[in-house]
C-alpha cells in the first residue's frame, strides 16, 4: 500500500504545549496509521514516492471523538424526566438505521471520526451498521436497566400514580412509558451475542452500559461489573437524581457505585452535572472518566458540570453532544465553544480551563502510531490557532475528514453515505410525545415539591 502525505498551511498536532502548531506541516499516513508528522518540505524529501493530498491553506488537526451520544432527534426541550417519556418508544430496524445514519452525518460534518452511542429498544445491529456505513468508529453501548420509574427512585411509580387522575394513571400502568427494562441475565445474553457478531470489525467496540444507577439494582450493577468489560453510564445528570438517591439510599449514586466497587479506570460517567466535593474525590480516587455534555445539560435545565473542579482533582474529561447538541446538528466544535464559555463563570477557586484544555477533551493526537484521523478546517485568522478553533470553528468550517486515512468527507461533501440523509425529526412527533405532554405538569409539580431536598442534597 502506498503511503500518503497530507500537507496543509498549518498543522495542529495537540501533542502538548510547545509542540502543537507547525507551519507548512504534513502528516504521513501508511496502513491507516500516522507514520510521521513534521514540516512538509522535510517529509516530502524523505518520502518522495508517497501520494500527495494537499489541503492548501487549511488547518489540519486530529479527528474528534464524541464522548457520549445517542441517536439524534429531540422532542421539545423539557426537564429530563419529561423528555425521556417523549423520547423513547417502538422503533423498527429501518427507522433505527435511517436515524442513526443522519446522526452519523451530522457528527462527521463537525470533524468526528469516533462516537460513543448508548442505545435502547432493539435494532442494535441496524444502528451499528449505519455508523460503519458512514465510516465512523463506534463504541456501542446497549443500555442495561432492570427497573424504571418516571421520577427517580419512585419504585413502581407509586408517588406519581397517586397524584394522577384515574384515567391518566390507568394509561401509565398500561403503557409503562420510558426506557425498556429486562433482567440483567437476559441483557447479558443479548450483549454477548451482539459483541460476538461484531467481533471481526476493529471499528466497533461493544461495551456495557448500566444505564443509570437509579434504574439498576445492586444485583444488576454487580453482574455487569463482573463481566470485566468497560462500563459507560449516565450518573447524577439532574439534581433530582442525586437528591432522590440520598433520600432512598442515604448516599449519592457516586457513593453507591464506589461502595459496590463499580468505579474504576475503565468506567465513564456521562454528565455528573450535580456532584459534591466527596463525589468528585471518589471519582478521582477510582480513576474514572467523566464526559461533559454542556448543551444537553442546558437544554434540559439540568445544570452545569463542575468541570474545573473535576480537572483540578485529576479526573480525565471528555466532551459529547448527547442527543444532538446545541442545534440538533451534532456539532462537536460548537459544543467545545459552549463549554469553554460556561466553565469561565463557575463559582470555584479551581483554575479555569484553557481553550486548549477544552479542545483536547474532544480531539485525538497527530503522532506516529496513532490512527490516521484527520480534519481539515478553513483557516480561522491570526493568533493562537487553538483559541481560534474553540472561539470560532463550527461544522461549516470543516473541509475534509479522514478516519484511518479513508475519506469520510472531502470538499464539504460526505463520501460514503448520501450527502442529505433524512432528517431524524422529520417523520412526525417522538413516539411518546402525547403521553409525555399529559404527564408533564404532574412530573414538574413533583420535582418542584422536592426542590428544597434537591438543593440540600446537591450541596452535601
| 214 DSSP assignment | G
CA dist 304 and 191 (Å) reads 33
Handedness of CA 312, 318, 322, 324 (dihedral sign): positive
* Cα gap 8→131, rounded to integer Å: 28
The C-alpha angle with vertex 234 and arms to 228 and 239, in degrees rounded to 5, equals 140
Please give the class, per CATH, of domain 64-363+431-459. Answer: alpha beta
Place of cell 412526525: 428
Confidence (pLDDT) at 451: 61
- Burial state string for 439-448 with b = 16 or more CB within 10 A and e = fewer than 16: bbebbeebbe
Alpha helices by DSSP H, 354-423? 355-362, 385-392
Q: What is d(CA 326, CA 330) in angstroms, rounded to the nearest whole number?
A: 8
CA distance 296 to 332: 12
Give the DSSP letter string of 38-68: EEHHHHHHH-TTSEEEE-TT-EEEEPEEE-S
Return the pLDDT at 458.
56
Q: pLDDT for 28-69, tens place per residue?
A: 999 999 999 999 999 999 999 999 999 999 999 999 999 999
Task: Using DSSP bridges, classify how beta strands 374-377 and 59-62 pair: parallel, antiparallel or unpaired.
Answer: antiparallel
Measured from the Cβ of residue 356, the count of other Cβ atoms closer than 10 Å reads: 20
Q: What is the pLDDT of residue 175?
A: 76
Distance CA(71)–CA(83), nearest Å, equals 14
Name residue, grid cell 503522532: 367
pLDDT in tens, 211-262: 999 999 999 999 999 999 999 999 999 988 998 899 888 999 999 999 999 9
Tens of pLDDT along 146-156? Answer: 998 888 888 77
Report pLDDT for 63: 98
Please identify every stretch of the chain with a pLDDT value under 50, giving residue numbers as ranges. none
Q: What are the residues whose beta carbons fall under 8 Å from the beta carbon of 232, sequence distance 6 or more?
A: 68, 116, 118, 139, 141, 207, 208, 209, 267, 268, 270
- Mean of the per-residue pLDDT values of the chain: 91
Dist CA 180 CA 121 (whole Å): 6
Element (H, E) at 267: strand 267-271
Name the 3-class secondary structure at 195.
Answer: helix
Separation in Å, CA 397 to CA 14, 61, 175, 245: 19, 13, 45, 43
Which residues 6+ apart lie within 8 Å of 290 measured at CB?
268, 269, 270, 272, 283, 305, 307, 310, 315, 316, 317, 318
Length of the chain: 460
Lookup result for grid cell 478546517:
377
Q: Identify the three-state secondary structure at position 230.
A: coil
Q: How is residue 76 written as a grid cell?
A: 421539545
What's residue 392's pLDDT? Answer: 96
Amino acid at each position: 500500500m502506498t503511503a500518503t502525505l497530507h500537507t496543509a498551511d498549518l498543522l495542529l498536532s495537540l501533542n502538548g504545549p510547545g509542540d502543537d502548531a507547525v507551519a507548512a506541516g504534513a502528516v504521513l499516513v501508511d496502513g491507516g496509521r500516522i507514520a510521521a508528522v513534521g514540516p512538509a518540505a522535510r517529509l516530502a524529501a524523505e518520502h518522495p514516492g508517497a501520494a500527495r493530498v494537499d489541503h492548501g491553506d487549511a488547518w489540519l488537526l486530529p479527528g474528534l471523538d464524541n464522548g457520549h451520544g445517542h441517536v439524534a432527534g429531540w422532542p421539545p426541550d423539557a426537564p429530563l424526566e419529561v423528555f425521556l417519556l417523549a423520547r423513547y418508544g417502538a422503533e423498527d430496524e429501518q427507522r433505527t438505521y435511517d436515524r442513526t445514519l443522519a446522526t452519523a452525518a451530522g457528527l462527521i460534518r463537525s470533524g468526528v471520526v469516533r462516537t460513543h452511542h448508548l442505545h435502547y429498544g432493539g435494532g442494535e445491529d441496524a444502528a451499528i451498521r449505519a455508523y460503519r456505513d458512514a465510516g465512523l468508529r463506534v463504541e456501542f453501548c446497549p443500555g442495561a436497566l432492570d427497573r424504571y420509574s418516571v421520577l427517580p427512585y419512585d419504585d413502581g411509580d407509586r408517588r406519581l400514580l397517586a397524584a394522577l387522575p384515574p384515567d391518566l394513571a390507568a394509561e401509565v400502568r398500561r403503557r409503562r412509558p420510558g426506557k425498556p427494562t429486562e433482567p440483567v441475565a437476559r441483557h447479558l445474553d443479548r450483549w454477548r451475542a451482539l459483541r460476538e457478531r461484531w467481533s471481526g470489525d476493529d471499528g466497533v467496540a461493544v461495551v456495557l452500559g448500566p444505564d443509570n444507577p437509579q434504574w439498576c439494582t445492586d444485583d444488576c450493577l454487580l453482574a455487569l461489573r463482573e463481566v470485566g468489560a468497560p462500563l459507560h453510564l449516565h450518573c447524577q445528570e439532574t439534581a433530582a437524581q442525586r437528591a432522590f438517591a440520598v433520600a432512598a439510599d442515604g448516599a449519592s449514586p457516586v457513593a453507591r457505585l464506589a461502595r459496590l466497587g463499580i468505579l474504576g479506570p475503565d468506567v465513564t460517567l456521562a454528565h455528573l452535572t450535580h456532584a459534591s466535593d466527596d463525589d468528585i474525590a471518589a471519582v478521582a480516587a477510582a480513576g474514572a472518566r467523566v464526559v461533559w455534555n454542556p448543551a444537553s445539560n442546558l437544554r434540559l435545565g439540568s445544570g452545569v458540570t463542575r468541570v474545573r473542579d473535576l480537572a483540578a482533582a485529576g479526573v480525565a474529561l471528555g466532551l459529547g453532544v448527547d442527543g444532538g447538541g446545541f442545534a440538533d446538528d451534532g456539532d462537536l466544535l460548537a459544543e467545545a465553544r459552549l463549554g469553554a464559555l460556561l466553565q469561565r463563570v463557575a463559582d470555584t477557586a479551581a483554575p479555569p480551563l484553557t481553550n486548549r484544555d477544552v479542545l483536547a477533551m474532544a480531539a485525538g493526537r497527530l503522532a506516529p502510531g496513532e490512527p490516521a484521523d484527520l480534519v481539515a478546517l478553513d483557516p480561522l485568522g491570526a493568533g493562537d490557532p487553538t483559541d481560534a478553533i474553540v472561539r470560532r470553528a463550527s461544522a461549516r468550517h470543516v473541509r475534509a475528514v479522514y478516519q484511518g486515512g479513508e475519506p469520510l468527507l472531502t470538499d464539504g461533501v460526505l463520501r460514503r453515505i448520501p450527502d442529505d440523509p433524512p432528517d431524524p425529526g422529520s417523520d412526525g412527533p417522538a413516539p411518546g410525545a402525547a403521553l409525555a405532554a399529559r404527564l408533564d405538569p404532574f412530573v414538574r409539580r413533583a420535582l418542584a415539591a422536592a426542590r428544597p431536598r434537591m438543593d440540600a442534597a446537591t450541596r452535601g
